[in-house]
A and B are shown apart, each in its own frame.
Chain A
Amino acid sequence: MSPVSASYNGVVVVAPVTIPYRRYAQHDAHWFLAKAVAGLRDAAGLATDDIDGLAVSSFTLFPDTAVGLTQHLGLTPRFLEHVPMGGASAVVQLRRAARAVQAGDASIVACVAGDTNRVDSFRQNLANFSRFARDAVYPVGAGGPNASFALLTAYYMRVYGAKAADFGKLCVAQRDNAQTYPYALIRKPLTLDEYLTARLVADPLRLFDCVMPCAGAEGFLVMREQDARGRGLPFARILGSIERHNAYPEDPIQMRGGWAMDRDDLYAQAGVGPADMDFLQAYDDYPVITVMQLEDLGFCPKGEGADFVRRNSFTAKGSLPLNTSGGQLSAGQAGAAGGHLGMVEAIRQLTRQTLSAPIPDARIGLVSGFGMINYDRGICTGAAILAASEA
């Protein structure tokens, strides 16, 4: 096993901010990211210049990166990160920002992610997603996540005996959770029967298996614990975190992610195990990847994800609350902010600032990220364990 990473003592995360999602938007990504940075500043009662670190994730910021955004927004940070890791960006931003604050390279880092969604921007993004996608996926008509996750889901079902109803249970539970979350784009209650009979998108995926792309942004701040206390800001601690890229390249098809390589390190850093988690905010653009995270993060053995799903309720007040703001499958996927949805929800739960139904006595929770189907599988994985300030 690799050496356990140093502790994140003294660094905390504050100010969960969401810029409300919308299906389509006329604004550019810069608009949403500006709203997020301003939202963080105002939520923490800061002056803009107090923010001396910036981490940015966005697909539609192109041709700009975090660099262009500093001049666009009039920011002069001494720490700047562009994190192009899709749904793993939230965890990775947190890790980069926490180490910068620990080392004194920045005092207050704004971690933001957001995207616009024009009528044709999703297709444009798919066509230019990666060199491998352009050379070897898009020309086959399999561009975009629907086809990729259909292939993974079909394989998982065949090999491990998972049923459509198992994935459906996750989608229905998350929709129940979304009922109380004001920014969820889809809050119409979903029944298992509606899930099972919805139109086929990419066999075996049906309509409610597939995330809906939208526009929006999310953000949070990373700072020293003493600064959060001094400003009277409710905060959550970072007990541990991991990231891994291009794990298990020898596997013919992705049936495990980088979490499986690093989870022992994660739990060793935090001094807790999966059974201690009061909730899980998993990356959930398609339910099969949620099941894979349950397995790879040690909630159940590989191949037993479906059985684990049958044994738990996943609602805020039930067993293993999962994606308590509805997840992307109900809230929508605001591009690179997809992984931030769970991070921001985790901070809200642990700092008692929930918009959705509070998880009773939530003290420790796990946030997991997954990003970038570069060719046939997701490349970036990450996870972080957060705790309430008193925990």
Chain B
Amino acid sequence: MSPSRSPPKNPVLKTREPTVPPGLRSRAALRLTAAACEGRLELQRCRACSAFQYPPREACTQCLSTRLEWTECDGVGELISETILHHSNEPYFRERVPLRVGLVRLDVGVTIVAHVDGACAPAPARIRLAAHLDKSGQAALVAHPPEGPTDMTTSQTHRDMTCDPRGRKILVTDGKSETGEALVKAFIAAGADKVWAGVAEPWKDATAIDKLAQLEGVTTVPLDVTDARSVEALSGLIGGKVDILVNNAEFHRHKPVGARGVETARAEMDVNYLGLLRLIESFGPALKFRAADGPNGACAWVNILSVYALSALPSQATFTASKAAAFAASQALRADMMGVGIRVMNVFPGPIDDAWNQTVPPPKLAPSALAAAVVASLKAGVEDVYPGDVAQDILARWRESAKVLERELADQ
């Protein structure tokens, strides 16, 4: 069943209130979620005897060692038994029965109670288990066919784990920037129902704006994220229709500290940080209200940040500071949106191959590659995206030692 655009809304009907699956987890179990946020399945493993185990524990069931680590797992195993639940005591699942649930035995020797993808053959069947995020923002383990997830739309529960742009209405801020244009095109190609491209200064770059507006399904709208009235005005027009908001607006200069850069810093903060706050104030409430509005309801908020939000790049001190500020705000936004099941997805690219990074040596991330990563990540339903080689490299080094990375970035 392929989701299509939703019928016009009946104004007399009550908007359904969002429910989310149970989100309470032990501290150990949150490690499963942490990996799922990046689309990985990790399981607990004993350092002493190498045994895998599940559910997460404080000690090894084989040898009682407390030296446990989290290891990536391919999820290959067998669906050994399954059921279709026709009843649930939990409101979220009550709205979604019948529900296919199974008992999976992974080849690494653990038994897992999991959601079962409708594409899986009946038990007994070979499967591949993957970790997704459910509407509560926690890891949800799903058994897929051996070739992996093919279609996450076989049930509403699975569709809830993704934020597929197909059939959805999407607002992209600063739509006429190089990344903005790439995002708009990628969403149209991915089957979005409608894309609004926010344009800050409609009198500039008239050709670029015209080109955008001529794309099928795209409407340009006036939006200046540095102007609260502009943001509020647009929210009044389309706030109740946006399913996915992509904040792509960015002000980017290369300034170290101590280089008479306070005005630049102020401008960067005004777009990159305060702009996000203005969007949250105007669009946040409407998005939350529509979190359960039909199968294609509001589902995601995407922030294009920078991998240097994790650790500052001294040569672009003020820019990376504004991205770090936006990152902090996004985490607060996520905590708020989690209660209704809206996913806040943060994208942490390395240098983008655009006009502002002209002098930065390669490798750089093409705007189209950034856009492709955003679409793929929405479909996969992950929460943190590090697209491209530089982002992956910085992330790995940051995980290894944030302090070593700080020293290494000092002379870049």
Contact = CB atoms under 8 A, between A and B. Distances in A.
Interface of A: 122-123, 126-127, 131-132, 134-144, 146-147, 150-152, 154-155, 158, 199-205, 249, 252-253, 375-376
28 contacts: A127-B24, A127-B90, A132-B55, A135-B28, A136-B55, A137-B113, A139-B22, A139-B134, A140-B141, A141-B21, A141-B88, A141-B96, A141-B115, A142-B101, A142-B113, A143-B22, A143-B88, A147-B85, A154-B83, A155-B80, A158-B81, A202-B84, A205-B83, A252-B105, A252-B111, A253-B111, A376-B103, A376-B113
A253 B83 CA distance: 14
A199 B86 CA distance: 9
A203 B83 contact: yes
Given A138-B90, A151-B102, A376-B113, 11 more contacts: A127-B22, A127-B24, A135-B29, A136-B54, A140-B101, A140-B140, A144-B89, A150-B85, A151-B113, A205-B83, A253-B80
B82 interface: yes
A202 B103 CA distance: 14
Interface in B41-81: 54-56, 61, 80-81
Contact of A201 (B25, B55, B87): B87
Interface string B85-119: 11111101100100101110100000111110000
Contacts of A199: 86
A154 B89 contact: no
A202 B29 CA distance: 27
Given A141-B101, A151-B103, A135 B86 contact: no
A249 B53 CA distance: 12
B43 to A, nearest CB: 12
B22 A138 contact: yes
Contacts of B80: 155, 252-253
Contact of B87 (A146, A154, A204, A376): A146
Determine chain A's interface SS by DSSP, over half rule.
helix
A134 B26 contact: yes
Interface string B156-198: 0100000000000000000000000000000000000000000
Contacts of B24: 127, 134
Nearest to B93: A141
B117 to A, nearest CB: 13
B29 A151 contact: no
B325 interface: no
Contacts of A158: 81, 123-124
B136 interface: yes
B235 interface: no
Nearest to B86: A200
B131 to A, nearest CB: 12
Nearest to B58: A131
Nearest to B110: A252
Given A136-B113, A154-B83, A202-B85, A253 B103 contact: yes
A289 to B, nearest CB: 15
Contact of A202 (B86, B89, B96): B86
A233 B25 CA distance: 51
Nearest to B124: A158
Nearest to B106: A252
Given A151-B82, A202-B85, A203-B84, A143 B90 contact: yes
A147 B101 contact: yes
